[in-house]
Structure 1
Amino acid sequence: EAQLEPMMLLDPTDCFPDRERCVVHSVRYMMQIFSLKLAKVPVNTSSVQLYGCIAARDCLDSLLNYIVNRSRDDPITVHQGSLIEMTGPKRGITMTSPVLVEFDMRIRKGEQEEDDLQLIDGAIDCELTTPSRPSTNRINGDCGAVDITLARVPGAVEATIDVIISKVQSGFSLSLSSFVFAGGSHEGIELFCGTIGESCGLTRRYVIAVQMGSWMHLKFNVGQKGSEYDDLERYCRFKADIHGCDCRQIILEHASISLKVTWLIVR
């Protein structure tokens, strides 16, 4: 038993013997990417089909941690000035040392890949001087530009959000956003925007950096198909913690939404 305790202490989801006063797992600086926006597109083009990747490498893992990862066979249609849907990260991005953000995004033009246009290609270093208040940097490329908004969040923990939608009575539109405290105010991150037609779990888990002791707010906008009424808004909030998980359930007229937020320390 004496040999098992240190091994169990390495697991921040179930810290034994005293989760409340744990001194083994501690908060750290993390990067949070709030949004990616298509800032410029080729002249006379209102929307484009994008594919490719944007990913981060931090000191914990030299492998790519994808923020966007789309194949040419599964592009996304984006208008100038609109958000580019983020598909990651898969885990929190630690920022106790500079983070490398790599990108290779392309515009699909026709049947052959050689006809496609290079939107952006290259890499940027995000230094430790990155402010805690979200700031926007423009990545210029051969055929357009992307704006990336990010911040270095002090004393942060990792929140993983799982969403399951059940008891669906009829189809509805759903948008989900997270608001976290950063640089003195709460800033929003769009997590999901789409249509729900049947019971399901949202296709990915959402990973957010949250400052320890602050509140993470989740906002749901629900619209009934063919309804004359305004979208229904629902809110819930979760207080950041080093260990454990929190669960909530939102009961709507046409569905039930179950939420689970798991708190982890990025190691």
Structure 2
Amino acid sequence: MARNILHGQIKRVKLNRPSHLPYLSDFFCTSGHTPGDPDEQVGITKGKARAKTRKETMKGNVSAATVIKNSSHRDGSIYKNSCLDVCRVKNRAETQLEPMMLSDPVDCFPDRRRCCLHFVSDMMQIFSLKLAKVPNHTSSIQLYGYIAARDFLDNSLNYIVNHSRDNSFTVRQGSLIEMTGPKRGITMTCVVLVEYDMRVKNGEQEEDDLQLIDGATDFSEVTTPSVPFMNRINGDYGAVDITLARVVNAVEATIDVIISEVQGGFSLSLSSFVIVGGVRQGIELFHDIIGESCVLTKRHVIAVEMDGWMHLKLKVGQKGFKNDDLERYCRFKADIHGCARRQIMLEHASILLKVTWSTLPP
């Protein structure tokens, strides 16, 4: 069930699952389970063809994600898997759809047609990615590759992380992997395929690199919890923990950050906090050194429950003064369209936070 909004009124409507993207679990019998199922089995890990029970791969409350059989990029089996044709995995293009950010509530789809309807819908929100295991117990690694979602809107790659080998980054075991996306909200009125190919840089040549994780996992719109949960994606040379949830009756929040009147360099961290299924969950959005006035090039798109609140936390510190970090908080109430701004004046900079609300196409 979803809600549709007509001239500011919310009505519940039933959304039919599109016929062109059926349950992948109908084909593979791999997912569609509730995390924590004691009978859960882990799918075949690429290159080693080994199945592990949940007890062998679980620690604490982390469930082992199921990797779809024959979904490896390294050996090309994902492109030969006829069952994955429904997701058009041979299409390697990035999604061209942007958040439907509008100032006029009547003009919903200016490039398609005019309407007066706004739809809230269930969306997938990925809250964090963490490097859970690294090869050979090293303290840090050079990592590259991608993690992307495919939903029924266009089936193209909606990147959550995307780094080329020449643009690899250093990350330590137990640390968060900075998310570079998604480009738009991930609709979850149908099954969502999360596809990944992450590798460890291990020398001058690509053939010397180690495969961290490789394959795809599907998440059913019926069984994916509406509270945050963590899955562990196990690979040949490590593992990644992914925390996500199905956000019910959600809208898109697109966050833009404009920094001006900079007086010297300072560190800036930006985090978001939302309530999902009654649970408060944080998302780390940005952390870097600011040296001059700028507009942050990376936009952040977050799924927020309709009528709920999104909180933003800014942490600002001058170089060399870790104990003098300054924190500022502000909040924004979810809406079907429109824009809200908060100006934060600091001693050494002015920071404008702009949040634009939008909905996914029906």
TM-score, L = length of structure 1: 0.92
Q: 1:197 to 1:80 in 2, by over 3 A?
A: same
Aligned residue for 2:104? 14
Aligned residue for 2:252? 158
TM-score, L = length of structure 2: 0.68
- Taking the aligned partners of 2:141 and 2:235, their CA distance within structure 1 comes to 15
- Taking the aligned partners of 1:27 and 1:228, their CA distance within structure 2 comes to 42
The answer to whether the 8 Å contact 1:219/1:236 transfers is yes
Aligned runs of 1:1-267 on 2, under 5 Å? 12-16=102-106, 24-128=117-221, 129-227=223-321, 229-267=323-361
In structure 2, the residue corresponding to 1:26 is in which secondary structure?
A: strand
Following TM superposition, by how much is the alpha carbon of 1:44 offset from its aligned partner in structure 2, in angstroms? 3.3
Q: 1:11 to 1:175 in 2, by over 3 A?
A: closer
- Taking the aligned partners of 1:228 and 1:181, their CA distance within structure 2 comes to 29
The answer to whether the 8 Å contact 1:13/1:263 transfers is no
- Taking the aligned partners of 1:228 and 1:146, their CA distance within structure 2 comes to 29
- Taking the aligned partners of 2:188 and 2:213, their CA distance within structure 1 comes to 24
Superimposed CA distance per residue, residues 9-38 of structure 1 (whole angstroms, 9 cap, x where no aligned partner): x98541139xxxx96112100000000000
- Taking the aligned partners of 1:109 and 1:89, their CA distance within structure 2 comes to 28
Moved over 3 A (4+): 10-13
Aligned residue for 1:4? none
Identity, in percent, stands at 73
Question: Hey, which of these two has a bigger chunk of helix by percent?
Answer: 2
Q: Where does the alignment leave 5 or more consecutive residues of structure 2 unmatched?
A: 1-99, 108-114
Question: Hey, which of these two has a bigger chunk of strand by percent?
Answer: 1
Q: Where does the alignment leave 5 or more consecutive residues of structure 1 unmatched?
A: 1-9
Superimposed CA distance per residue, residues 198-240 of structure 1 (whole angstroms, 9 cap, x where no aligned partner): 1111121000000000110000111111337421000010000
- Taking the aligned partners of 2:337 and 2:137, their CA distance within structure 1 comes to 51
Paired AA for residue 176 in structure 2: L
Following TM superposition, by how much is the alpha carbon of 1:248 offset from its aligned partner in structure 2, in angstroms? 1.0
- Taking the aligned partners of 1:65 and 1:107, their CA distance within structure 2 comes to 22
- Taking the aligned partners of 2:102 and 2:117, their CA distance within structure 1 comes to 9
In structure 1, the residue corresponding to 2:156 is in which secondary structure?
A: strand
Q: 1:93 to 1:173 in 2, by over 3 A?
A: same
- Taking the aligned partners of 2:126 and 2:101, their CA distance within structure 1 comes to 26
Paired AA for residue 14 in structure 1: D
- Taking the aligned partners of 2:133 and 2:320, their CA distance within structure 1 comes to 34
| RMSD, matched Cα | 1.5
Q: 1:11 to 1:202 in 2, by over 3 A?
A: closer
- Taking the aligned partners of 1:120 and 1:205, their CA distance within structure 2 comes to 26
The answer to whether the 8 Å contact 1:165/1:199 transfers is yes
Aligned residue for 2:34? none
- Taking the aligned partners of 2:238 and 2:318, their CA distance within structure 1 comes to 36
In structure 2, the residue corresponding to 1:73 is in which secondary structure?
A: helix
The answer to whether the 8 Å contact 1:31/1:153 transfers is yes
Q: How many residues align?
A: 254
Aligned residue for 1:6? none
- Taking the aligned partners of 1:16 and 1:120, their CA distance within structure 2 comes to 44
Paired AA for residue 58 in structure 1: D
Paired AA for residue 168 in structure 2: P
Paired AA for residue 180 in structure 2: T
The answer to whether the 8 Å contact 1:12/1:265 transfers is no
